[in-house]
């Protein structure tokens, strides 16, 4: 029987190939389901080594995986909505950069310990405007499973994640309500300051 320990060693080997040969990985065409599964496998691998890696190590590992699987620029634009068009090019670039750091830091903070968690695929369906939604579950020992819905769209022939909902709640929607409010009420510089403060909190 194939032991779980061997399974994780195998997954770590595959992820290692993606890390050390990113150009080759980018040249391959993965299905939407494969993009999600590769990302989830890296989350599990980072959780398993979470304490040894520390926040900085988890951040560095996940930065590669998230940049490969997520369309962070599109996510940043979606968070701001129509306000994006009112920003200068320099402001758009700064917001994309700081929001990307926030996304990676949030994963590095929230996925830092392993106690037997695992992901399982549930189903796949067509999304809006040519997108795809991948439904899966994160199984947590002695707790209820968390349903994750990954929304993906193609960018340059590669599927990328543009939104994730956990148990029906979209973190992107929550951030959009919060960030657009700050932007309108207090301005761009205050928004960047608030996001940077959150990144620093995650790193502590």
pLDDT digits (tens, 9 = 90+) for 109-167: 999 999 999 999 999 999 878 899 999 999 999 999 999 999 999 988 899 999 999 99
**Whole-angstrom Cα distance, residue 154 to residue 162?**
10
Q: What is the pTM of this model?
A: 0.82
**Whole-angstrom Cα distance, residue 89 to residue 103?**
21
Name the pLDDT band for 10 (thresholds 50, 70, 90). Answer: very low
pLDDT digits (tens, 9 = 90+) for 56-97: 999 999 999 999 999 999 999 999 999 999 999 999 999 999
Domains of the chain: 4-203 (3.10.450.710)
List % helix, strand, coil for the chain (3-state, nearest 5): 65, 20, 15
Q: Centre a 10 Å sphere on the Cβ of residue 197 and count the other Cβ atoms it contains.
A: 10
């Amino acid at each position: 029987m194939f032991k779980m320990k061997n399974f994780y060693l195998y997954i770590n080997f595959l992820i290692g190939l993606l890390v050390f040969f990113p150009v080759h990985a980018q040249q391959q065409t993965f299905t939407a389901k494969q993009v999600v599964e590769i990302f989830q496998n890296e989350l599990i691998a980072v959780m398993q080594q979470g304490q040894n890696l520390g926040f900085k190590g988890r951040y560095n590992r996940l930065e590669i995986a998230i940049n490969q699987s997520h369309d962070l620029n599109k996510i940043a634009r979606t968070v701001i909505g129509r306000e994006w068009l009112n920003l200068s090019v320099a402001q758009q670039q700064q917001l994309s950069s700081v929001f990307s750091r926030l996304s990676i830091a949030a994963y590095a903070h929230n996925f830092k310990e392993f106690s037997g968690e695992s992901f399982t695929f549930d189903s796949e369906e067509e999304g809006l405007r040519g997108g795809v939604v991948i439904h899966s579950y994160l199984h947590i020992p002695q707790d209820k499973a968390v349903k994750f819905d990954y929304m993906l769209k193609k960018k340059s022939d590669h599927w990328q994640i543009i939104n994730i909902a956990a148990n029906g709640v979209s973190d992107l929607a929550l951030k959009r309500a919060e960030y657009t409010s700050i932007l309108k009420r207090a301005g761009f510089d205050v928004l960047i300051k608030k996001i940077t403060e959150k990144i620093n909190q995650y790193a502590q």
